[in-house]
Amino acid sequence: MGVQEEAGAGALPALAPGWAFFLDVDGTILEYAARPDAVRPDASVFHLLSALHRAVRGALALISGRPVSGLDALFAPLRLPVAGQHGIERRDARGGVHLHAFPDEAYRRAAMRIGSFAALHAGLVFEDKGYSAALHYRLAPQLADAARGAVHNAASELGPGFEVQDGKMVVELKPSGRDKGSAIEEFMREAEFAGRIPVFIGDDLTDEFGFGVVNRLGGHSVKVGAGASAARWRVADAAAVRAWLGEWLARYAAS
């Protein structure tokens, strides 16, 4: 099944009922593409998420850096509980929307500066997500330092209300104070999630916030791929994640 053993992390926890699933999207349930807008889930992923959401009676949420609107477009017509933009926006298990930050003039100007920088450098992909901005350098890895510098410059002009989030081939500007961990905590206070064992699967630096919260709550933190992590479990890649979720579903869908 592609599970790899690494120092400080086992394979995967034994399957059990009563779980709540928190899933990062890019690099976790879907493979990366050259550009974020080139990622397309196939029908089997759609059916897996849909069936899993039903099997856990609503206790499944996507926890992503993408905006909620982008996640809905990606998985349409499925509308799952989601936290977008690293927890800045969240749609709860009942469909209620929670916003934790609002763009102000200063943020808009900073995002425009990052966008202008991207326009001058072939291979950089700028993504304005509304409440956060991402600069992707997957197509031009030699520009990693320049991209980070541009986003750090924009952040330093904004002051303490904003921070820089590094990721795989991406650097982001976002309001501080919310992260994937705080989003998972908020979901776990909802009736659909409360009392279940949280399972969070993610592959990137921003997912470490979620691993920390899930470890504290006595759940299962699962890191996809190599690299240092606070996660207690490890799985090789997105295909192995989908296979593992499929195994859980096969065993517990009817329970």
Which residues form the interface with Mg ion (CB under 5 A)? 24, 26-27, 203-204
Minimum CB distance to Mg ion, residue 100 (Å): 20
Smaller CB distance to Mg ion: residue 24 or 208? 24
Smaller CB distance to Mg ion: residue 23 or 110? 23
Minimum CB distance to Mg ion, residue 210 (Å): 11
Minimum CB distance to Mg ion, residue 166 (Å): 12
Q: Is 24 marked active-site?
A: yes
Those residues whose C-beta lies under 8 Å from the C-beta of residue 140, and which sit 6 or more positions away, are: 121, 122, 123, 124
Cα(181)–Cα(58) distance, integer angstroms: 19
Smaller CB distance to Mg ion: residue 106 or 236? 236
| Residue nearest Mg ion, CB atom distance | 27
Smaller CB distance to Mg ion: residue 121 or 168? 168
Minimum CB distance to Mg ion, residue 32 (Å): 8
Smaller CB distance to Mg ion: residue 24 or 72? 24
User: Pick from 160, 172, 21: which is nearest to 86 by CA?
Assistant: 172
Minimum CB distance to Mg ion, residue 203 (Å): 5
**Any bridge partners for residue 125, and if so which?**
136
**Residues with active-site annotation:** 24
